[in-house]
Structure 1
Amino acid sequence: MSTDLVLTGLTKTFAASPNPALDDLSLTVTAGTCTAVLGPSGSGKSTLLRVIAGLETPDQGSVSIAGRDVAAVAAERRGVGMVFQRSLLFPHLSVLDNVAFSDRVAGMPRARARERAERYLDTVRLTGYGRRRVGELSGGQEQRVAIARALAAEPAVLLLDEPFSALDPALRADMHELLEAVRADVAPTILLVTHDRDEAARVADRIALVEHGRLLHEGTVADAYRRPGSVRAAELMGGRNAVPGRVRNGVHRSVLGEIAAAGVDEGPATLLFRQEDVRVDEHADAASLRIVGIVLVRRPTGARSELTVGAGGVELHAEVPSMSPLSPGDEVVLSVPEALAHVVAR
């Protein structure tokens, strides 16, 4: 079922806005993998999906599925399935006939279409729900049916436009497990749009960060968190520590000291590290930056607390267990393993 999806130089501008919704965006999603497109509201995420699906025409660029440019191919013939925030099920049809809809439109006999629909209901863990009406389903069950309906059309590419955003946290977790099961069963190529970086990390193989219609970063989940391509990419992934400095002779120098910066151009550069990776009141080994500062602010965040620490004229962020006795005014020793720090050019 799965195949490569290759986007090249996509540009799209709408008459109501002087700024492009997509700006020379290129991205490849390898067959059978899941890439999450992450970015703030208005960044072009949904427009990207609509262009791939054939619901919008790009001003420039190409969409290639299985090595074929589908620019001139009608939306219904592209081999693309799409699931939206709302399930958009047909209320007058049973669950089974909703899932069988694409096969029936294609001319398949009712009995055969329903037989195939049962298989996809099994895939989304709704065995036995076929005779129910849409109005008898919960929100999570509706989204499961919507996914089953999309899969029943055997798409080469499955597009998910924030399909779990309206669900409560427990149901979202269930849907993430479901998506994992679907991938194990039918291995579709998936492009998922989300504004939730935790969701992206949970379900995707790779993350593409988009803002103002441009691709800021694309890579593995681990790289998106700990080796982002820019300060803005780090911010979009929730990173809060960015220390300015300069790179000279392959070394970044800042108020925190020196750290290797191989491959980074000489000149102004920023040292990035995540707040979760900062060790508090621990002995710093030889491969760590050691920082002495003063706690400025402490904010509870559930089972942990976030510290804002003043050190050398910059503010740093760290996390400690909720039972930690540290409070504003206390001196604190921080250390950051060099392996978890990352330098990017400014």
Structure 2
Amino acid sequence: MSADLVLDHLSKRFPGARSAALDALSLTVAARTCTAVLGPSGSGKSTLLRVIAGLETPDAGTVRIGGRDVGPIVAERRGVGMVFQRSLLFPHLTVRDNIAFADRVAGMSRTAARTRAEEYLAMVQLAGYGDRRVGELSGGQEQRVAIARALAAEPAVLLLDEPFSALDPALRTDMHDLLATIRRAVSPTIVLVTHDRDEAARVADRIAVVEDGALLHEGSVADAYRRPRTLQVARLMGGRNEIPGRVVGDRHVSVLGRFPVRQTAVEGDAVLLVRQEDVLLAEPDTPVPATASRIEAMVTDVRRAGARTDVTVRTPDGTVLHAEAPGTAPPIPGDAIGLDLPHAALHVVAA
């Protein structure tokens, strides 16, 4: 049921558009894995899915599924299932018959198609809902049925176009858990489009960051957060600490000091990155760990953000940095504080 998906230099420009929707984008998604395509609105994410599905024709480039160029193949024969932000279920059919639709179109008997539909209903944890009408379902239930309908066609590739974005946080968490269950059961190759980096980190094996139709970064979830390829990727992934300076030998040199660079980096102008959640708060007079560098600073702002507390500090030279503090006993504005920057968490990108 699963197959490799290989996109090779896909380009697409819509008539009258100032820029390309896809700009020579290449991406490989291994069979049975999930890649989240992350980017701001208008970055080309949905166009990418529509090209894979055969709903849009690229101006250049190829889409290969299981080694086969599917460009000449019509959408319904590509072995691709797609779930949109809206469920797009047939309101005149029962839940069971919505799921059985693909099998019925393929010529399967009604009895057999409905029997298979019940199997997929159970997979999405809606056993017993087969006789209901679409109008009797909640938003989360509709999306479960839409996923079941897509899976019933046994696609080699499952495309998810922000299918959970309209759901409340609790339901989204349930859907993320459901997706993990589905992956264990049938192992489809999945491409998930989202603008939510937390969702991408939770459900995907790898993250592809797209902006203006171009692929800026592709790698593991950890790489996207802590080893981004560019400053723009770091910002899209929510990084807040950027220290301008230069790489000299194996050090990044800036007004804040000399910090070891663990990666191979070309000498010259570079920005040192360290994610706010990796910065450790310390009392100024406590020993500095051997595996970290300390910066002395003053707290300028403290804001609670759910279970986290965001702490903003300013160093004597005026550099503003951010850290996260435990929910209990956070510092207060005006406190002198030390920031320990773990060497393993430091990363440089070109300025």
Q: TM-score range by the shorter chain?
A: over 0.9
CA distance in 2, matches of 1:272, 1:127: 48
CA distance in 2, matches of 1:333, 1:6: 48
CA distance in 2, matches of 1:183, 1:116: 18
1:137: which partner in 2? 137
Any stretches of 5+ residues in structure 2 without a counterpart?
none
Q: What root-mean-square deviation, in Å, do the aligned CA atoms of Structure 1 and Structure 2 show? A: 1.1
1:203: which partner in 2? 203
CA distance in 2, matches of 1:50, 1:217: 21
1:318: which partner in 2? 323
1:243 aligns with 2:243: yes
1:300: which partner in 2? 304
Deviation digits for residues 261-294 of structure 1 (CA, Å, limit 9, x no counterpart): 3411111011101111111115421121100011
SS at match of 2:266: coil
1:330 aligns with 2:335: yes
Task: For residue 135 of structure 1, report the CA deviation from its aligned partner.
Answer: 1.0
SS at match of 1:100: helix
2:270: which partner in 1? 269
Compute the TM-score of the two structures, normalised by the length of structure 2: 0.96
Task: For residue 327 of structure 1, report the CA deviation from its aligned partner.
Answer: 2.0
Superposed counterparts of 1:75-114, under 5 Å: 75-114=75-114
Any stretches of 5+ residues in structure 1 without a counterpart?
none
Q: Is the 8 A contact 2:279 2:324 kept in 1?
A: yes
Compute the TM-score of the two structures, normalised by the length of structure 1: 0.98
Superposed counterparts of 1:1-346, under 5 Å: 1-261=1-261, 262-281=263-282, 283-311=287-315, 312-346=317-351
CA distance in 2, matches of 1:127, 1:300: 41
Deviation digits for residues 224-253 of structure 1 (CA, Å, limit 9, x no counterpart): 111111111111111100101101223211
SS at match of 1:175: helix
Identity %: 67
- Count residues with an aligned counterpart: 346
CA distance in 1, matches of 2:182, 2:107: 26
Task: For residue 223 of structure 1, report the CA deviation from its aligned partner.
Answer: 1.0
CA distance in 2, matches of 1:307, 1:219: 29
Q: Is the 8 A contact 1:256 1:289 kept in 2?
A: no
Deviation digits for residues 116-150 of structure 1 (CA, Å, limit 9, x no counterpart): 11111111111111111111111111100000000
Q: Is the 8 A contact 2:309 2:330 kept in 1?
A: no
CA distance in 1, matches of 2:159, 2:308: 36
Deviation digits for residues 27-78 of structure 1 (CA, Å, limit 9, x no counterpart): 1000000000011100100000001001111111111100011111111111
Greater mean deviation of Cα atoms: 300-309 or 267-276:
300-309
The runs of at least 4 consecutive aligned structure 1 residues that moved more than 3 Å come to none
CA distance in 1, matches of 2:36, 2:56: 20
Task: For residue 325 of structure 1, report the CA deviation from its aligned partner.
Answer: 4.9
Read off the aligned partner of 1:318 and give its amino acid letter. A
CA distance in 2, matches of 1:26, 1:146: 28
